[in-house]
Copies of this chain bind each other. A is one copy, B any other.
Amino acid sequence: MNPQPGSFPAAGHDHHACVRSALRGAERLCAEQGLRLTAIRRRVLELIWQSHRPSGAYEILEQLAGEGHRPSPPTVYRALEFLLAHGLVHRISSRNAFVGCSRPGQGHMAQIFICDRCSVAVELADGTLNRRIRRNADDLHFHIREQTVEIAGLCPACAGRANEG
C-alpha cells in the first residue's frame, strides 16, 4: 500500500512500497522536467524516505558516512536544496528537518502534522485552508511567496498511549 497522503501510516504498512513509490515518482518527475537525479540526490531522497519521520541534515550525513561516502555538510545541503526546489521533500522549519513529499509535482501548499512523541509527519493539501490563507493575504495586500503550516501534537497511535511511558 502506498503512503496514503492524508492519514497516518498504519503500524504494519508496507513501507518498502512507500520508498519505491517515492523514488519512482522522483525519477519520473526528473525525466519529465529534464532534471538530473544524480546518485547523491537519489540516495539522500532514499534516506529521507526510510521513515515517515523528518530527518535532520546531519542525520543523513551520518548515514551516508556509514556507507563509505563521507560527504561534508555542503554536499548534503545541496542535495536537499535540489529536492526542496523541485518539491520532492518538505522542510520542517519547526524542527530543522526534512521529510519526503507525498505528492511531488503538484504544487506545494501543504500543511504538515507532526507527532511530538513518535515524530511521524503527515502532510495534507487542503484547498479550503489554502484559499483562506490567500484571502487573508489579499486583505493585507500581501503577496505570498511561500507558506509554512506545521501542526505539532499527538498522532492517533500516540494519543492512545498518552498515559503510558
Interface residues of A (CB under 8 A from B): 6-8, 93-94, 111, 113, 115-116, 122, 124, 126, 128-129, 132-133, 136-137, 140-156, 159
Contact = CB atoms under 8 A, between A and B. Distances in A.
Given A8-B140, A93-B94, A113-B137, A148 B148 contact: yes
Nearest to A94: B93
A132 B124 contact: no
A111 B150 CA distance: 11
Contacts of A8: 140-142
A146 B153 contact: yes
Nearest to A113: B142
Given A93-B150, A142-B153, A147-B149, 18 more contacts: A6-B140, A8-B141, A93-B94, A113-B142, A115-B142, A116-B145, A122-B140, A124-B140, A133-B151, A140-B155, A142-B154, A144-B151, A144-B152, A145-B153, A145-B154, A146-B152, A147-B150, A148-B151
